Structure 1
Amino acid sequence: MRVSLIVFFMINLCFAYGQSIEKNTPPENLLIPYKAGVVPDRIILSLGSNTESERLINWRTDTTAKEQYIEISEQDGSVDFYKKKLNFKAESKLFVNLQNDSAYYHQIKLHDLEKGKKYSYRVGYEGFWSPWFDFEVESQNGDFQFIYLGDAQNDLLPLWSRVIHNAYKQASNSTMILHVGDLINHSQNDYEWAEWFHAASPIIQKIPQVIVPGNHEYIKDDDGNKLGLSPFWDAHFNFPKNGPSELRNQAYYFDYGNCKFIFLNSNEKLEIQASWLEKILENNEKNWTIIMFHHPVVSGASGRINEGVLKNWKPILDRYQVDLVLQGHDHVYGRGNEVISGLDQWNEYTGTVYVVSVAGRKMYPLGNHPWMQKKAENLQTYQIVTVQKESILFDTYKTNGDLFDSFEIKKLTNGDKQLIERLPQQ
């Protein structure tokens, strides 16, 4: 444990001067507290590699509360549910931010949870406990639903918070929430991270969150060159460790029901991930395949290109006829199933549906790319996706709850896919 603490501490210091201190300094007028206290905060629930029996939980405290525990009990509906609790000790690591504020980050992996049961948990120690939070381990026998959110990044408290809360209000039975990266604007700004956690609570304590890194989760030099992933990433998040060893906790996959979900880091090591991705898809026996990463295969915004993703990953996505690809980065909305690279080197007419969306306030001009059958600029959205045996239903909503886009991906008996528009053509 001592070696882990030293490495964790040194990594943070090595990157400390990568970016402007001003951009990573909390504002003078604090709307919320950002420093750690004795009561746990930044609590987040996520999925293990075995989604039928594992859940991962992370949280933070100040340095007076190094020893931390989770208490968990089956939720039987009685007022005395907590009297049957089990108690487990968490793994803890020291973290020091750019302002030299110290905190302990804690994580725990829950095993052997039972399908179809509801649980309640809290984290803390000796009189300083979080509230009790409830979650359910679904049976995964039938249809399921999840929420997909594009970049958050800016104005998290005033403007992004309403997006995730409106999505949860409309789809509170969702099994998970997928975030496509760029949760914050400056990767080492502790206050921005505090905003994100505050804006998304208490949803993120009750529904598993699934996240990939965007470019704004990276530390950059003054010229915008990436130096490495922010140490806040591993401190805050805990995801399955079944991806390439070079991208531990950044690229991973899991099965949920009749669907395989694969999550990639589109910022670096694209060729390594391409080899890993192909091996996963070669042995894929699930009916549906959904892949998420930050940078679009073909951009939806004006004047942007992601050549590495296009050349390294799109041939694989086409070869294995992936059903749905979720992306971000462009700060526009775009959707289509005829995304063509222009390289003319392989069959690209596979029916894969690509989506780009944005949940936050930052917007870019919309490009005139022909792949987008539905598109919009200056529009914050959230997406509710329903996975059925023979169809995926995809609905995109504006922040006022109006339906903006709706389509169905139908799996035909010969394995081909049919895209069915579910909104009247305008």
Structure 2
Amino acid sequence: MKVYTSILTSIILLCLFGNLAMAQHHHDHSHDHSHSHEGLHHWEIPSKDPDRIILTFHGDPATSRAVTWRTDTSVESAVAQIAEATVNSKFTEASKDFKATTEEFDLGLYKSNASLKVHYHSVVFEGLEPDKLYAYRVGDGKEHWSEWIHFRTAKSEYAPIEFVYFGDAQNDVLDHWSRVIRMAYQTAPNASFVVHAGDLINKAHRDMEWAEWYKAGGFIHSQWTSIPVVGNHEFRGLEKGEKKQLAIQWRPQFTLPVEKSLNTNLHETVYTVDYQDVRVIVLNSNDLLEEQTTYLEQQLKDCDAKWKIVTCHHSVFSPAKGRNFQFARDHWKPLLDKYNVDLVLNGHDHTYARGHVPTRTSDNKKSKFLSTVYVTSVSGPKQYKLDPEQMKEYKADGYELDESGEQTQFYQVIKIDGDKLTYVAYTAIGEEYDRAVITKDFKTGKKKLTEK
């Protein structure tokens, strides 16, 4: 009887301790869940599988490319593999491994995010060959890999290129920008790169919005090489009343060139890309503008590229009511005139305007030749009204409005072939809205503008 009672007591105690252990396990799991994944969509939750894969320029586009991606913190060591693509899967036998740089990132620095830490991984592929189609993948080097993804390196000489340009995506990005980037991809699937002219999202540090931006573009971000431009909505205080700062995700998620001569606050927001005799200069129109004026002149003065393109978020010639970027017209435009910049790509004003500034003769009269084409555009759903009267005032700066639009989501495809740059603006449904061609004499630098 004592033996039976002892056995029974042991069983009861085991059951009690088992239930307590299960309850404690459940409690711990619930605790982790509430401080990490609760309220997140499945596509926001990091795992061992790579997500948010994006290509950027870092170094010579003919021989290098950067890739950045995200995982959970269990992936402490990551790898990218690359090989020249072939018609079958045997290219994997010749793939090379590149060890990633891994950075821990705390989403919880911004209280509206989940209290969650992730790892960002980055690799700069170097030693590539010009004009080759490469296949790459990223992962933990073991079981958790992305798919193989293609990109083509630039040619080492001047050759035709095509690229895409977006104004602000900013609001309701997953709902309303997805169709725009996907329509752009249908229009120009082989684009060499894509310019995102600032305000990629609305609230700088809010990770759900970055998750939407990545989901909207999907594999396109990992196949097109991005040139991201920082906008005013990429700046926000971490706490209410605190000084605005660059989105905490910006530097971890984009591997961009660092201009060491500039203030560290401008690093990875001001940089230059030279792609097949086309120089693209990216400026940060939010702060430290005087320092960038010096940088801009240096990049234009020491440039023998056949085409010069400048992009920044704020519009040099603002088409929307109440907007004014006087500093750019006073300090940057004279440099754009002096060094014969071909194209300026802006966002910020949530409307559409394409205009140009003609060159002036020695007696300061308007000539038949072109100086610079200026474009302001919007790709997202947030729309403002045009201010025609304000646009007329820019005549004092030599600006002439050629085409405008409002209440329309746009994307632009720009082709450069020989002595011609062809600019086309498309609506969100893929219809051509505006077209202009710049024809350039490379010996004299003289340009003419032809419209539609």
TM-score (norm 2): 0.82
The corresponding residue for 1:303 is 322
Provide the secondary structure at the position in 1 that maps to 2:269: coil
Cα deviation 1:218-275 (Å, max 9, x = unaligned): 1148888852211210011011223643211111112111211111110111100100
AA of the residue aligned to 2:154: E
The corresponding residue for 1:104 is 119
* Equivalences, count: 393
Q: Shift in Å at residue 339 of structure 1?
A: 8.7
Of residues 195, 204, 215, the one that matches 1:198 is 215
The corresponding residue for 2:17 is none
Which of structures 1 and 2 has the bigger CA Rg? 2
Q: Shift in Å at residue 153 of structure 1?
A: 0.5
Match runs of 1:256-295 below 5 Å? 256-295=275-314
The corresponding residue for 2:383 is 363
Match runs of 1:24-423 below 5 Å? 32-98=42-108, 99-125=114-140, 126-139=142-155, 140-220=157-237, 227-242=244-259, 244-246=261-263, 247-338=266-357, 351-368=371-388, 369-370=391-392, 371-412=400-441, 414-422=444-452
Provide the secondary structure at the position in 2 that maps to 1:245: coil
Q: Shift in Å at residue 414 of structure 1?
A: 3.1
- Taking the aligned partners of 2:178 and 2:151, their CA distance within structure 1 comes to 21
Q: 1:348 to 1:48 in 2, by over 3 A?
A: farther
Task: Pick the structure with more helix per residue.
Answer: 2
Provide the secondary structure at the position in 1 that maps to 2:257: coil
AA of the residue aligned to 1:359: S
Provide the secondary structure at the position in 1 that maps to 2:315: coil
Q: Shift in Å at residue 407 of structure 1?
A: 0.5
- Taking the aligned partners of 2:386 and 2:42, their CA distance within structure 1 comes to 34
Contact 2:61 2:154 survives alignment (8 Å): no
- Taking the aligned partners of 1:294 and 1:226, their CA distance within structure 2 comes to 20
TM-score (norm 1): 0.87
Provide the secondary structure at the position in 2 that maps to 1:213: coil
Runs of 4+ in 1 over 6 A off after TM superposition: 26-29, 221-225, 346-349
Cα deviation 1:306-332 (Å, max 9, x = unaligned): 223222312211221211000000000
**Larger deviation, residues 162-171 vs 28-37:** 28-37
Question: Which segments of 5 or more consecutive residues in structure 2 lack a partner in the other structure?
Answer: 1-35, 109-113, 393-399
Q: 1:324 to 1:305 in 2, by over 3 A?
A: same
Q: Shift in Å at residue 372 of structure 1?
A: 2.5
Provide the secondary structure at the position in 1 that maps to 2:150: strand
- Taking the aligned partners of 1:223 and 1:339, their CA distance within structure 2 comes to 46
Q: 1:41 to 1:27 in 2, by over 3 A?
A: closer
Q: 1:243 to 1:316 in 2, by over 3 A?
A: farther
Q: Shift in Å at residue 94 of structure 1?
A: 0.8
Q: Shift in Å at residue 401 of structure 1?
A: 1.5
Contact 1:244 1:273 survives alignment (8 Å): no
Question: Which segments of 5 or more consecutive residues in structure 1 lack a partner in the other structure?
Answer: 1-25, 341-345
Q: Kindly, what percent of the aligned residue pairs are identical?
A: 36
- Taking the aligned partners of 1:71 and 1:132, their CA distance within structure 2 comes to 9
AA of the residue aligned to 2:144: F
The corresponding residue for 2:22 is none
